[in-house]
Structure 1
Amino acid sequence: MLFKEEFLHFIWKFRLYHREPMYANPGGKIRVIHPGVSNKNAGPDFLEAKIQLDDTLWAGQVEIHYRSSDWLLHKHQDDLAYENVILHVVYEHDKVIYRRNGSEIPVLSLKGKFKETLYNHYHALINATSRFPCERQLHTVDALSIRLVLDRQLIERFENKTQAIYQLLDKNKGDWEKTFYYFLCRSFGFKVNTLPIELLAERLDLQLLKKYQRNPMQLEALLFGQAGFLEGPFTEQYPAQLKIEYAFLQRKHNLCPMPVSLWKMLRMRPENFPTYRLAQLSGLLQRHPNLFNLFLSVDQFQDYHKLFTLLPINPYWETHYHFKKPSVKTNPQIGTSSVQNILINTICIFLYVYGKYTDQEKYTERAFGLLSFLPAERNSIVAPYQLAGVAMESAATSQALLQLNKYFCCQKKCLNCTIGIKILNR
């Protein structure tokens, strides 16, 4: 049976082998005092291991392969990083391996030292025909263990999003307001139109928008004009006036509009049309000139939602989702689920990143607190976990599950997941 190396890592890390008696070749009787710490970077698989060979105590690195000859296959003999390996753990010992100084590296073969049915359980787990590997067995894992995994995944999700903000902040020379504006605009793309609205934010500087925040018609003309929506002839007064205003501002500020073809509207609900979203974004920018500082100053979680309500949106959008396309009368304000999406994916992330960057714990705590205050998201990814028994307590839970699903479940990394390990160790 050919085992994957990651499975042998699992056996070694959690000492799932028969421990007595064991012998290394050469070296005699071996006792594993500590298997070491998993190395996530280049180099040997485990660092800081401690083993006793007969009467000699060794401390150093451990490398794991299916066959000992894989050492040569992977060309470790040419890599100085492997000179401090004190033990070569393999399933099958088929070749003697030497260090560069000519000394033989002790080998421990795990063949026959663990129940091979354990691999059958692992193989069945990662090949299960379910929406995620442990869907049918998740209910057997205690709630505390699941909670600890999700808490860690939530932190990882925040950390994963941190780097992109830091990079743009550096590009903007430390301007948090400008950086926040870009990511806020991005959130109004709601996945489908993320790319074009990113391009719009790049073409439409925040300082320029601020000059016209007290003139709604010109502010809206800048947004719709730069987005490419004011190209055609208009018979209705509102878009016709916008076109006139944009033509003036375009000449004044030497602006270049985007190709309107970049925006996606096919098979989309009217309330998600980019024109509708830009009208809402315009209302938000009119109402709150200094958005970033405003979001930092909010103390009560329920007040975040209020910042998105009763925005000054032109009445035209009560009867239109797009220019030249009248519709039944509706409320153009941002819907509750959309507000929650923005709070979860933009506001919480910025609170966390700003808190980390400035070393102000109150903001990182507020980020976690706001997520715990918001209701859990409902989508096709988190729904199976709920059906499998995970309590959907808040958006903190759903965000953690999205992270777990993307980086563990979809990649079948059950051996790196505490939940998977608990299931296999039952």
Structure 2
Amino acid sequence: MKEDFLHYLWKFKKFDALNLKTSSDQEITIINVGQYLQQAGPDFFNAQIIIGNQKWAGNVEIHLKSSDWYVHHHEKDTAYENVILHVVWEHDTEVFRKNNTEIPVLELKNYVEKEVLVNYQKLLTPKSWIFCEKQLQDFDDFVLKNWQERLFFERLERKSKAIYELLEQTNMDWEAVLFCMLAKNFGLNTNGETFFKVAKSISFTIIRKESFEVENLEALLFGKAALLDSEKEDAYFKDLKFRYFYLLHKYQLEPESEGQVQFFKHRPDNFPTIRLSQLAHLYHLHQNLFSKINNNFSIDTIYQLFQVSTSTYWETHYQFDKVSPKKLKKLSKSFVDLLLINTIIPIQFAYAKSLGKEIAEDLMTTLVSVAPERNSIIDKFSFFGIKANNSFETQSLLQLRNEYCSAGKCLECAIGTELLKKS
């Protein structure tokens, strides 16, 4: 048994609350279980309880055993001086305050029905993937939909933290933040971190100034990505390299590259050369991209903004010095969907939140119209009965798996708590 199960029992009063007595046989009446804040200090704050004929207001601490009070050294912590009730599963020792008064103890195991314990054991019995996998197929759809909405916004809140941190590093320049976040996602999983470092290493004021000449943007991005470090006979390579060193001198930039990009295991259209050229063209075409994105929530407008290709050279190349059949290499709709999910929606959410604006419905409407992501986690949920129809649902399921299922937080999950109620 885990302590969070006792938190669940107390929070939702899943025990015989009408006949409670302390370990010293005093009657207990719960007026308010308190606030479950999940922070440092007692587990539940500002509870109201009648013990015997005395009404108490204060905090409640919960442990598996009474002796855990001393194991966790609460007797030395002033934050626990206002504990009015010690709720435990097993009472094995008395606990005293600093003034030597005894803290009343409620031993919960005497008041919890066997059915609740059976459901808990059933839920927490190891399965092949997640604890509740066998019950998902028949789970209440209404509860699931409400829970998915909350999960979606939890995921956006988590992504927003990285955005706000980057905002401070870029002197509160939202255009610069968008550039860095887009660069990271243009690099996908393999080159994302390197692209991100490349974008951060170039002041966005330089990107703004040089955006009118796309070759200069390519030179900066390719140079910082160590793609111009060698010597080649290719005329375009030589031109970019000349431009790069000129720009380094012009803006007094450090010549060091930000890491080595990877070509291995990528489809040619995802080669770093192609993605960096597309990124350069995006900022060549749209000097105020952040403003354009945040002034319009139309998904069709977003798709139109990202109708970008590469420079002419890359229509017949994937790497320097190697000619390939001519192909117009535009950003695909599926790639723009990834940018929407991982960059544009989080940026829109964070920006609106910074202004105190409510755009929840707009963001959900956008992602509901985007095709569902395909990955092993979404495939597993589908196998066990929860099929995602759009990206709003896949984002919710990823949050569920990563932040709840993988962490064993079944008792903080709407699915887990609902299953515990079932007979």
For residue 38 of structure 1, the aligned residue among 15, 36, 44 is: 36
Deviations 1:231-290 (A, max 9, x none): 222233322322222233233333334447521222222222211110110110111111
Q: Shift in Å at residue 336 of structure 1?
A: 1.4
Write the mapping of 1:136-151 to structure 2, written as runs, cut at 5 A: 136-151=134-149
Deviates more, 1:319-328 or 1:203-212: 319-328
Q: Could you say which residue in structure 1 is the equivalent of 2:378?
A: 382
Q: Name the SS for the 2:56 alignment partner.
A: strand
Q: Could you say which residue in structure 2 is the equivalent of 1:393?
A: 389
CA contact (8 A) 1:47 1:60 kept: yes
Distance 2:392 2:219 in 1: 38
Q: Shift in Å at residue 392 of structure 1?
A: 1.9
Q: Name the SS for the 2:376 alignment partner.
A: coil
Distance 1:205 1:261 in 2: 18
The number of equivalent residue pairs is: 422
Q: TM-score w.r.t. structure 2 length?
A: 0.93
Q: Could you say which residue in structure 1 is the equivalent of 2:80?
A: 82
Deviations 1:139-193 (A, max 9, x none): 2321111111111111111111222222222232322222222222222121221
Unpaired runs of 5+ residues, structure 1, are: none
Q: Could you say which residue in structure 1 is the equivalent of 2:356?
A: 359
Q: Shift in Å at residue 117 of structure 1?
A: 5.8
Distance 1:116 1:327 in 2: 70
Deviations 1:94-123 (A, max 9, x none): 111111122111111122322456445434
Distance 1:41 1:105 in 2: 22
CA contact (8 A) 1:382 1:402 kept: yes
CA contact (8 A) 1:27 1:106 kept: no
Q: Is 1:322 aligned to residue 324 of structure 2?
A: no
For residue 99 of structure 2, the aligned residue among 98, 101, 105 is: 101
Q: Could you say which residue in structure 2 is the equivalent of 1:178?
A: 176
Deviations 1:31-59 (A, max 9, x none): 22332221310111112222222333222
Deviations 1:349-399 (A, max 9, x none): 1111111101233x5543333222222212111222233333423211111
Distance 1:23 1:132 in 2: 37
Unpaired runs of 5+ residues, structure 2, are: none
Q: Could you say which residue in structure 2 is the equivalent of 1:412?
A: 408
Q: Could you say which residue in structure 2 is the equivalent of 1:303?
A: 301
Q: Could you say which residue in structure 1 is the equivalent of 2:417?
A: 421
Deviates more, 1:131-140 or 1:245-254: 245-254
Q: Name the SS for the 1:330 alignment partner.
A: coil
Q: Shift in Å at residue 70 of structure 1?
A: 1.1
Q: Could you say which residue in structure 2 is the equivalent of 1:201?
A: 199
Q: Could you say which residue in structure 1 is the equivalent of 2:159?
A: 161
CA contact (8 A) 2:197 2:258 kept: no
> What amino acid does structure 1 have at the position aligned with 2:174?
W
Write the mapping of 1:172-251 to structure 2, written as runs, cut at 5 A: 172-251=170-249
Distance 2:412 2:345 in 1: 27
For residue 130 of structure 1, the aligned residue among 128, 131, 144 is: 128
Q: Could you say which residue in structure 1 is the equivalent of 2:7?
A: 9
CA contact (8 A) 1:7 1:415 kept: yes
Q: Name the SS for the 1:174 alignment partner.
A: coil
Identity of aligned residues (%): 37
Q: Could you say which residue in structure 2 is the equivalent of 1:348?
A: 345
Deviates more, 1:17-26 or 1:152-161: 17-26
Q: Name the SS for the 1:191 alignment partner.
A: helix
> What amino acid does structure 2 have at the position aligned with 1:410?
S
Deviates more, 1:96-105 or 1:167-176: 167-176
Distance 1:194 1:283 in 2: 18
